Structure formats: structure tokens, C-alpha cells
Amino acid sequence: MMVSALIEREQASSAFPVRNGVFIAVVGPSGAGKDTIMAYAREHFAGEDGVDFVRRVITRPSDGATEDHDTLTEEAFRDAEAKSAFALSWYAHGLHYGIPASVDVAIGDGRVAIANASRGTIAALRARYENVAVVEITARPEILAERLSARGRETREQVLARLARGGAMELSGPGVSTIDNSGEKEIAGDRFVAIIRKAIAFADVGRF
């Protein structure tokens, strides 16, 4: 690449929205199997350059049963937030969540960054990154209820409340895809892999 092109990319990536790469935000209700589908795709792209599965920071210990994440206390999280350690942070279900600021560099370098996000963060993501794809992973209501109940973490009333919250906000705008994960994970997983392939093709070329 010519030096002038490198300078142009550096200048472009220094302001918002960050261009060149694609941010894939994975959203969906609890019990839809987001972690399962992301793990399937992560294995598919293992060792492949240009794709980053973002490790989030959460104020919750990592139990090995759900997503693998970094953990901070609430005080440490707020301190990191004050020091601009996160590209994006939000509060939900009594926990703080953060996307590391290093994602800005990855997107500016033309990479595809994939992270579990919240529906409420979509507007902020679209403001921060030029190319954003939103992938909603869902499942039939009875499947969601069954999976949530099987976890044994919540009462029936809490499960119903989670399901109600999950359908409270409709997704709109460009780059939105919905994947039904009611069946075999390979079916939904292969659809997700195809979306990532499309993002790779669009990275550093144009709007997703």
C-alpha cells in the first residue's frame, strides 16, 4: 500500500465514525443461544486473519458456563470508563458491560469485530462506526422459556419478565439480520458464518 494511502487511512480512522472495517453486533433475548452461535462461528474462523471476536468486560465473575469475558469490580469498571478504556459501555440487568477501546483500532485497520451487544446500544454503535451489521439471534417463545427455565437461575416470573423485555424493542435501520436458533445450532451457525463472510467482503470497501 502507498504511504499516502496509509496516511489517509490513519486520518480517516482518527475521527468518528470509524471507517474501513465492520462491527457486527449480536443481540437477542436471553435463551436464544447467542453464546452458542458465536462460539460456533469462532471455531469456524479460528486462525483466520481479519476477524476479531471481542472479549467484553463485565462486572460479573466468569463462570465458564456462558461467554468468556474479562471481569472488573464495579469500582474498577467505573475507573476504566473514566479513563476512556471502552469504545462503548452500558448498564443492564444489574451489571456493567464494556467493549474495549481497542476495537476502534481494529475497525480502523479494516477488520471485522464481533461482539455480544444490547439492543439499546445500536444507535451509539452506528454513530461510532461507519459499517455496522446487527444480527438478532432469537428462537420461538416456548424454546426461550424452556432454555431459561433449565438454567435454574430465575423464578417463572423472572423468566416471563425477561421474555417480555426481549420483545420490547424492535430493530430497524440498515444491516439488520435475524437468525432463528430454535433448531440445530449448525443451521443458525452457518447462517451467522455467511453474514461474517459478507462483512469480510465489505470491510474497507463500502457501507455494509
Tens digit of each residue's pLDDT, the chain (208 residues):
333 333 344 444 457 899 999 999 999 988 899 999 999 999 999 988 899 999 999 998 876 666 778 999 999 999 999 999 999 999 988 899 999 999 999 999 999 999 999 999 999 999 999 999 999 999 988 888 887 777 655 556 666 666 666 555 567 667 899 999 999 999 999 999 999 999 999 885 654 4
Is 110 inside a domain boundary?
yes
185 a known binding residue? Answer: no
Q: Is 33 annotated as a binding residue?
A: yes
**Position 74 in a domain:** no
| CATH number of the domain that residue 144 is part of | 3.40.50.300
Query: Is 166 inside any structural domain?
Result: yes
| Structural Rg of the chain based on CA atoms | 17
What cell was used for 162? 425477561
Q: Tell me which residue range forms the domain holding 139.
A: 17-53+103-202
Helix, strand, or coil here: 85?
coil
Bridge partner residues of 22 (DSSP): 112
Q: Is 29 annotated as a binding residue?
A: yes
| pTM across the whole model | 0.82
Total domains in the fold of the chain:
1
Determine whether the annotation assigns residue 30 to a binding site.
Answer: yes
Q: What is the pLDDT of residue 7?
A: 38
Is 3 contained in some domain? Answer: no
